[in-house]
Amino acid sequence: MNVYDAILKRRSIRKFKSDLISDEIIKKLLIAAMAAPSARNMQPWEFYVISNKEVMSKIRNVARSIDFESPLMIIVCGNTDRSITKNDNDFWIQDCSAAIENILLTATSENLGTVWCGIYPVMDRVNKVTEIINLPKSIIPLGVIHIGYKDEEKEERTQYNDEYVHYIN
């Protein structure tokens, strides 16, 4: 699948089969994540790959809108010790978002379903996830990606809208 096809095909999937994902595919997702661009190439990301049922259940309970039964979760976090963002900005959010999108697109190309659920900047979610997976202070959970084989189908689509485009010639 080429990248453009994967971009259009990717949809948020919230119903998953229980089939497990191979270690090989998980590694492929992580390699894709870490190939993302980052400000000054600081790569300020940490990936928590979770398949432990008890931990996943606790994460799902953090908020109703992230309560989806997938066999795998990846929580993508920003490491503020390894970021140019330490003093006066928050580029780690953009860096980690690029990594998340790479995971979503690679998963799509492997016929997996995903949904990206936001954690930061909802501080209640940040605090609960931090406690559940015991994150150090400098690590901030940005989002959780639920990943699994799809148990629902969604049409590929474009949301192209001329009104959002502004040409300056």
Q: Give the angle 61-49-114 at the CA atoms, nearest 5°.
A: 70
Q: What are the CA-CA distances from residue 154 to residues 20, 100, 113, 140, 164 (Å)? A: 21, 20, 10, 31, 24
Residue 116 CB, nearest approach to ligand FMN (Å): 5
Residue with Cβ nearer ligand FMN (65 or 127): 65
Report, in Å, the least distance between residue 117 CB and ligand FMN: 4
Between 101 and 138, CB nearer to ligand FMN: 101
CB 23 within 8 A of CB 71: no
Toward ligand FMN, which CB reaches closer, 52 or 65?
65
Question: Which residue has the closest beta carbon to ligand FMN?
Answer: 118
Please identify, using beta-carbon distances, which residue of 77 and 115 lies nearer to ligand FMN: 115
- Picking from 159, 145, 155, the residue whose alpha carbon sits closest to that of residue 14 is 145
| Residue with smaller CB distance to ligand FMN, 115 or 135 | 115
* Distance from C-alpha of 111 to C-alpha of 130, rounded to nearest angstrom: 31
Encoded amino acid at 105, one letter: L
- Interface residue list for ligand FMN (CB under 6 A): 11-12, 65-66, 115-118
CB of 132 to ligand FMN, least distance (A): 16
Closest separation in Å from C-beta 73 to ligand FMN? 13
Nearest distance from C-beta of residue 169 to ligand FMN, angstroms? 31
Q: Taking a C-beta distance cutoff of 8 angstroms, is the pair 132, 55 a contact?
A: yes
Please state, in angstroms and rounded to a whole number, the distance separating the CA atoms of residues 147 and 166: 35
- 33, exposed or middle or buried, with CB in 10 Å at 0-12, 13-18, 19+? buried
